[in-house]
Amino acid sequence: MSSRSALRGYLLVFTATVFWGGSASLAKFLFTTHYDPLIIVQTRLSLSFLLYVLYFAVKDRSVFRVQPRDLKDFFFLGVFGLAATNFAYYYTVKEATIATAIVVQYTAPALIMVYAVFISKEETLNGMKVIALVLSLIGCFLTASGGDISSIQLRGWSLVSGIASSVCFAYFVVGSKHILRRYSVWTMLLYAFGFGTLFWLVVNPPWEIAAQGYGANDWGIFLVFAVSSILIPHTLFMLSLNILDASRASIAGTLEPVVAIFIAFIALGEVLNTVQILGAAGVLSAVLLLQLRPNALAARKALDGE
């Protein structure tokens, strides 16, 4: 992988985190008005799926073609990777704290690295990657909690849901990486969104949604949130997985809480303390270290060729 390709991959991840981080502030605003968090989470995935279907039905129907034997992989990715991650994350937010949900979910890069290095053996372990992982984990904790250990409250069912959100997110990244070897980003997301949508329809059936009496303005808001929080960032992140290995992409993805707190500071007037700034610097340092590694490898190859 060249340094230019790696940089393109990290830029894709960074852009995805900008949308994810920005949508966090938008979600908080929507939650504090009159929208049920369940309907926000459900419609953002369902509407993204419908937009994908409509677009590719006109643009490129080959995206719909898959081998029947692969449908189970898409099912597991959509239900246990995508929908379950969201469900477990928001349940942890409800039962514990936002800081708890963020910190626990972003231990996923460690799980991804362990799997990729020791189980699938798709990646090699190096000091730079380990340092970047540690920096990102510490940075996420400081950014989300402000250094207040009491804000991390894993107990009762939030302990189960918190761990589940991390494991499911790790599975989503690793599973996506495997499917992308056989299918395009568009096909993978189309079916993952589709099976995830079916999951939510079981949890919250259509007639329950209809009973809420949402109008055209409400659905317009749901559509904007779907595009900004799922459709665009997930597409960008999956494109990055075509370039970066799973552990690097997931570590770079820990920029999301950093972006989220800065957007909340600017847009919502939330407090940003010194500890959070230090945490943000730690995450940024981790991403920079990851980018230095491809440059070092490229330079070494150039020397070997001389």
Average pLDDT over residues 125-130: 87
125 confidence band (pLDDT: 50, 70, 90): confident
pLDDT of residue 279 exceeding 50 = yes
Higher pLDDT, 272 or 191: 191
The mean per-residue pLDDT over the stretch 36-47 comes to: 90
Binning pLDDT at 50, 70 and 90, where does residue 2 land? low
Indicate the pLDDT class of residue 233, thresholds 50, 70 and 90: very high
Q: What percentage of the chain exceeds 70 in pLDDT?
A: 94
Of 68-72, 112-116, 228-232, 272-276, the poorest mean pLDDT is in 272-276
**Whole-number pLDDT of residue 247:** 92
pLDDT of 147-175, one tens digit each? 888 878 878 888 999 999 999 999 999 99
Average pLDDT value for residue range 202-217: 92
> Are the C-beta atoms of 16 and 259 separated by less than 8 Å?
no
What's the predicted TM-score (pTM) here?
0.88
Q: What is the mean pLDDT of residues 256-272?
A: 82
Encoded tokens for 178: 């495997």
**Where does the pLDDT of residue 271 fall: very low under 50, low under 70, confident under 90, or very high at 90 and above?**
confident
Give 194-259 as a DSSP string.
HHHHHHHHHHS-HHHHHTT---HHHHHHHHHHHIIIIIHHHHHHHHHHTTS-HHHHHHHTTHHHHH
Strands (E), the chain: none
Q: Is the pLDDT of residue 299 over 90?
A: no
Burial 43-52 (b: 16+ CB within 10 A, else e): bbbbbbbbbb
Position 306 scores a pLDDT of 43
Q: What is the mean pLDDT of residues 105-111?
A: 93
The pLDDT, as a whole number, for residue 85 is 92
pLDDT tens string 132-152: 999 999 999 999 888 888 878
- Per-residue pLDDT at 15 exceeds 90: yes
- Show the domain range for 77: 3-305
Query: Residue 131 pLDDT > 50, yes or no?
Result: yes
State the DSSP H helix or E strand holding residue 96, giving kind and residue range, or none if neither.
none
Instruction: Evaluate if residue 22 carries a pLDDT over 50.
Output: yes
For the chain, the average pLDDT equals 88
Q: Is the pLDDT of residue 302 over 60?
A: no
Domains identified in the chain, total number: 1
The CB-based long-range contact list for 113-117 (8 Å cut-off, 24+ gap) reads: 113/247, 115/170, 115/174, 116/174, 116/245, 116/246, 116/247, 117/247
d(CA 210, CA 213): 6
pLDDT value of residue 186: 97
Task: Give me the pLDDT at residue 1, please.
Answer: 60
Q: H helices then E strands: how many in the chain?
A: 15, 0
68-102, pLDDT tens digit by residue? 999 999 999 999 999 999 888 888 877 887 778 88
CA distance 125 to 145: 29
> pLDDT for 177-201, tens place per residue?
999 999 999 999 999 999 999 999 9
Confidence of residue 224 (pLDDT cuts 50, 70, 90): very high
